[in-house]
Amino acid sequence: MSRSVFDLIIAKFGKRAAFDEADREALRSLPHRPASFEPQAYISREGDRPQQVHLLISGFAYRQKSLIDGARQIIGVGISGDFLDLECALLGRADHNIQALTRCQVAVIPCAAVDALILSHSALARAMWIQTLIDGSLFREWIANVGRRDARSRLAHLLCEFARRLELAGMAGELAYELPMTQEQLADTLGLTPVHVNRVLKQLETQGLIAREKRFVRIPDWEALRRIGGFNETYLHLHTPDGHAEGAVSA
């Protein structure tokens, strides 16, 4: 893979902590190999003792927990520029599954190399620490979303989150983006049934809050959808090192 692979994470980390050219070059110099995964393929499995971490270069991936009755709960979605399992570099054991949502290209990086980078570059260690804290913030919001909001609000909140995250990653247009999730996957994310998800999607569409064409979603009325979902982007921590906001989505 080329140097541009790591430019994705350099740009992302640059919003979290200030670092210099030596730090950027250290990231670009990380040993890695390319790998690709087809949809639904496991990138890592719960219980594994991984020797590498995965940086998502293109496509979408998701974290999930499988239950003994065969049910699953999707607990996070990764987009381009995300480390999918950075915590494994220090914790040493995977506590959930990671699967490809779409066809994915990843950079596979040895845990030992990430550990050495953390020890030798304090600014990068800080950026990685901040990123894991933000991941935790997303998990907390997803718990609140599934645990306390009604079905309509849950889905509205999720659609708003995707719009904001994908816009900042350069993967969405003016409140329009590809949502590569089936209704079954949305159901496993929101703690609903696929039938209920289908009903709520149609309701939001009938009310003019979203427009859909295959897997593409457009949000004609951002403020109304944000209000229904109770969406406040504070939990995404979209700030620069000097504390200035990255900008808000406009209607």
For residues 165 and 233, what is the distance between their CA atoms, to the nearest angstrom?
10
Q: Is 63 helix (H, G, I), strand (E, B) or coil?
A: strand
Structure confidence at residue 204 (pLDDT): 98
pLDDT band at 250 (very low <50, low <70, confident <90, very high): very low
* Residue finishing a domain among 94, 114, 141: 141
Structure confidence at residue 106 (pLDDT): 97
Report which of 1, 5, 4, 29 is spatially closest to residue 121, judged by C-alpha positions. Answer: 29
Range of the domain at 188: 149-236
For residues 229 and 232, what is the distance between their CA atoms, to the nearest angstrom?
9
Instruction: Identify whether residues 73 and 112 lie together within a single domain.
Output: yes
Mean pLDDT score, 139-163? 98
- What CATH number does the domain containing 166 carry? 1.10.10.10
Name beta bridge partners: 104.
Answer: 37
Instruction: Identify whether residues 94 and 187 lie together within a single domain.
Output: no
The predicted-structure confidence for 85-117, as pLDDT tens digits, reads as follows 998 888 889 999 999 999 999 999 999 999 999
Instruction: Identify whether residues 81 and 42 lie together within a single domain.
Output: yes
Please check whether residue 251 lies inside any domain of the structure. no
pLDDT band at 243 (very low <50, low <70, confident <90, very high): very low
User: In angstroms, what CA-CA distances link 241 with 18, 64, 145, 238?
Assistant: 6, 31, 28, 10
Structure confidence at residue 239 (pLDDT): 65
169 pLDDT more than 90 = no
Instruction: Identify whether residues 8 and 114 lie together within a single domain.
Output: yes
Counting the structural domains of the chain, the total is 2
Structure confidence at residue 164 (pLDDT): 94
The predicted-structure confidence for 195-222, as pLDDT tens digits, reads as follows 999 999 999 999 999 999 988 999 999 9
110-138 residues labelled b (16+ CB within 10 A) or e (exposed): bbebbeebbeebebbebbbebbeeebeeb
Please check whether residue 160 lies inside any domain of the structure. yes
Structure confidence at residue 18 (pLDDT): 84
- What CATH number does the domain containing 50 carry? 2.60.120.10
Name beta bridge partners: 110.
Answer: 52
Mean pLDDT score, 35-41? 98
Task: List, in order, residues 6 or more apart from 62 with CB less than 8 Å away.
Answer: 74, 76, 77, 78, 98, 99, 101, 185
Structure confidence at residue 7 (pLDDT): 86
246 pLDDT more than 70 = no
For residues 164 and 40, what is the distance between their CA atoms, to the nearest angstrom?
25
